[in-house]
Structure 1
Amino acid sequence: MRFLINSRIILLNITVLFLLLACQKAEEIVIPETEIEIEIEPEPEPEPETDTILSEIKLKATGEGNTYELINSVFAPGYNVVETPDCSHESFGRHIDEVFDADLNKNVFRFYIHTTPDNDRCIKFDRQRNEIKTYDKSPDELKGVKNEKVVYSWKFKIGSNFKSSSSFTHIHQIKAVGGSEDSMPLITLTTRKGSPDNLELRYAETDSQITLKKTDLSPFKGQWVEVVETVIYGEKDTGTYKIELKDFKTSTLLFDYSNDNIRMWKTNADFMRPKWGIYRSLNDSSSLQDEQVLFADFNVKELKI
């Protein structure tokens, strides 16, 4: 009896299914189109190539008070790389000291220059010099030689009311030691009085100087500026030069120049070396005033070419 009931149920289900299929109209089945977003992960960008660092020397302010000693210990241990007007202005004391800077949140170097009585080391009296340098007593890592790639970097800040001479007011130089052209800087950053005052990049292939590029000085005033200067030392076929100056706070590019076909050497030079500070003419002293120029984070890096 149970088998008979199950058979009838199965037969009934088949009959219902048959009736439903018979009543169903043949319709085309349409699958609605849909946009399928497939998220493809971008290929990771290759990491930028970095040059091999052969040597790196850093000079940072410590605020401990022995500023000349600190500078000399890095740029020429046991010798003196500081060129100041102290001898003509002993009552003032040292013309380079260290001070805490709130913008950088660190100690920085402060370079003083006074319209009077400061001069150039009691040697020349038509100009004033307060600079630091590297020279023949410096470690080899601070001397630029042919076929060497060097990156100089530093920060500086001039006052919001900084005054320039119509002659020259240098804040950075690259000079030769030795040879017939070592009195003329190879590269100079100078400010110059004008309408408006300008920052100039000056260059001397031999013993005469030209302006490679200049720009309005106003954006530099009262701001920390970060400088990166890259040099391959050599004659014109191998020498290269690049410099970038940026507003340190905003990273805005204020000035740049690049040349991969430029003579970055001087005839019969022993080596090239940098200088930083303030070195200005007194030919237009009425345009000048006492100044404080701040510097920080000097770095000299030699890279493998």
Structure 2
Amino acid sequence: MKKYKFFIGILIGISTLIACQKSNDVIVEEIEEVVEETIIDADNVLSETVLEANGEGDTYELINSVLAPGYDVIEAPDCSHELFGRHIDEIFDNDLNKNVFRFHIHTTPDNDRCINFDRQRNEIKAYDKSPDELKGVKNEKVVYSWKFKLQSDFKPSSNFTHIHQIKAVGGTEDAMPLITLTARKGSPDKLELRYSETTSQVTLTEIELASFKGSWVEVVETVIYGEKEFGTYKIEIKDFSTKNVLLSYSNDEIRMWKTDADFMRPKWGIYRSLLDATSLKDETLLFADFNIKEFKK
């Protein structure tokens, strides 16, 4: 973890200098607390999994090699739209100055893996074939981070348009996601943070979707998996360019588990209802810099 401490040392020097110039002891104290917590977290990293786009071609193979080597984590509508080909590819993005993942979805003929026809799915996931470090278990702290960008004219369904989920594998409540980021058509359109303690959902917080359209945003989601007295959840989404916080939520007394679950796992992509198909259009959703860290609690 020496590289973390090196950069943190630079941060301490710069931040302390700025704070001293302001002659504000409170600022210095707050900076020191943040830096100390960061050092502790860096020293307590048990594992880190990184998925980054590296250029055109072999995109499915790249994703699978990280999220489940030798297996298939892609849930794409390729079977219903063979003429289009693979629905996840990679392009160079000028804003980030790097390669990124591009997820495609089409109002027709795409569906949900030729299984469900009232919805469409193009997602990647961790699952039972994934390495253990990608499976969230009780009393484990996990930090998920990534970037995404919606088109400036992105159109959500009035039913659901999920772009991220945390789901259980196993147990009696695994059909309903534990955590969901979903876009929803309305007046105005919203991005909702949804939560399900058991089998029904509530909205924890929401923000106008316009804040997310046409710009890269970065997400940091921190979870301690467990029953209500042990579970914690925190998410912060910032505009990548301005660093302005667009959405923030934190709860240190929340059930982050499902009854009799084997483990919890993340999903990313676009999964939307076709019951309001007239509101939709063909979309491309960009993702970059997936990162999953496991920590000592």
| Partner amino acid, structure 1, of 2:37 | E
| Partner amino acid, structure 1, of 2:172 | S
In the TM superposition, what whole-angstrom CA distance separates every residue of 1:83-142 from its partner, at most 9, and x where no partner exists? 000000000000000000000000000000000000000000000000000000000000
Superposition TM-score, scaled by structure 1 size: 0.85
Name the CA distance, whole Å, in 2 between partners of 1:114 and 1:250. 31
In the TM superposition, 1:136-155 aligns within 5 A as 136-155=128-147
CA contact (8 A) 2:152 2:213 kept: yes
The match for 1:196 is 188
Name the CA distance, whole Å, in 2 between partners of 1:42 and 1:170. 44
Q: Give the SS at the match of 2:152.
A: coil
Q: Give the SS at the match of 1:179.
A: coil
Name the CA distance, whole Å, in 2 between partners of 1:126 and 1:64. 31
Name the CA distance, whole Å, in 2 between partners of 1:49 and 1:131. 33
Residue of structure 2 aligned with 1:120, choices 112, 117, 127? 112
In the TM superposition, what whole-angstrom CA distance separates every residue of 1:179-237 from its partner, at most 9, and x where no partner exists? 00011000000000000000000000000111111110101000001000000000000
Residue of structure 2 aligned with 1:246, choices 222, 229, 238? 238
In the TM superposition, 1:1-305 aligns within 5 A as 46=32, 47-50=35-38, 51=41, 52-305=44-297
Q: How far off its partner does 1:42 sit?
A: 8.7
Name the CA distance, whole Å, in 1 between partners of 2:173 and 2:194. 15
> 5+ residue gaps in structure 1?
1-38
Name the CA distance, whole Å, in 2 between partners of 1:182 and 1:268. 9
Q: How far off its partner does 1:64 sit?
A: 3.9
In the TM superposition, what whole-angstrom CA distance separates every residue of 1:26-58 from its partner, at most 9, and x where no partner exists? xxxxxxxxxxxxx9x998763432311111000
| Partner amino acid, structure 2, of 1:61 | A
| Partner amino acid, structure 2, of 1:215 | I
Number of aligned positions between the proteins: 266
Name the CA distance, whole Å, in 2 between partners of 1:200 and 1:155. 17
Name the CA distance, whole Å, in 1 between partners of 2:242 and 2:200. 36
In the TM superposition, what whole-angstrom CA distance separates every residue of 1:271-290 from its partner, at most 9, and x where no partner exists? 00000000000000000000
Q: Give the SS at the match of 1:205.
A: coil
Q: How far off its partner does 1:304 sit?
A: 1.3
Deviating above 2 A after TM superposition, structure 1's stretches of 4 or more consecutive aligned residues are 41-50
Q: Give the SS at the match of 1:69.
A: helix
Name the CA distance, whole Å, in 2 between partners of 1:257 and 1:92. 39
Identify the range of structure 1 (110-119 vs 62-71) with the bigger mean alpha-carbon deviation.
62-71
Identify the range of structure 1 (209-218 vs 46-55) with the bigger mean alpha-carbon deviation.
46-55
The match for 1:26 is none
CA contact (8 A) 2:156 2:183 kept: yes
The match for 2:11 is none
Answer 1 or 2: which has greater helix percent: 2
Q: How far off its partner does 1:165 sit?
A: 0.3
The 1:92–1:42 alpha-carbon spacing in structure 2 relative to 1, beyond 3 Å, is closer
Name the CA distance, whole Å, in 2 between partners of 1:262 and 1:181. 16
CA contact (8 A) 2:90 2:100 kept: yes
Name the CA distance, whole Å, in 1 between partners of 2:120 and 2:217. 23
> 5+ residue gaps in structure 2?
1-20
Percent sequence identity over matched residues? 76
CA contact (8 A) 2:135 2:263 kept: yes
Root-mean-square deviation (Å): 1.3
The 1:42–1:215 alpha-carbon spacing in structure 2 relative to 1, beyond 3 Å, is closer
